[in-house]
Amino acid sequence: MIEMDIEELRRKYPNLARELEERIMCVEVRGSRKSDEEFQVGMPDAVDYIRRCKSVQEAEEVINFLERTNQISRTKADELR
């Protein structure tokens, strides 16, 4: 990992420094995979679809669709909401 002080960051990467300081495009991460063993190539699961969403509304539509088509249970849908 590269270490640098904030002044060096501002000098080398002014736009990145500004984005970090102003918290532009700040995204909350509320979940992650614990190991690669859980990851399997094949059909995406509900979480994979949700991660591709560009908005909360789009994620809710995906959850509703998966629940309506019985691809996830009501309990799982509520958990994802």
Residue 50 lies in a domain: yes
Residue 70 lies in a domain: yes
Residue 69 lies in a domain: yes
* Total number of domains in the chain: 1
Question: What is residue 45's predicted lDDT score, i.e. its pLDDT?
Answer: 86
This prediction has a pTM of 0.50
| Structural domain that includes position 76 | 6-29+41-80
Q: How far apart are CA 75 and CA 72, in angstroms?
A: 8
Mean predicted lDDT score pLDDT of the chain: 85
Residues above pLDDT 70, as percent of the chain: 89
**pLDDT tens digit string along 23-58?**
877 777 777 766 665 556 678 888 889 999 999 999
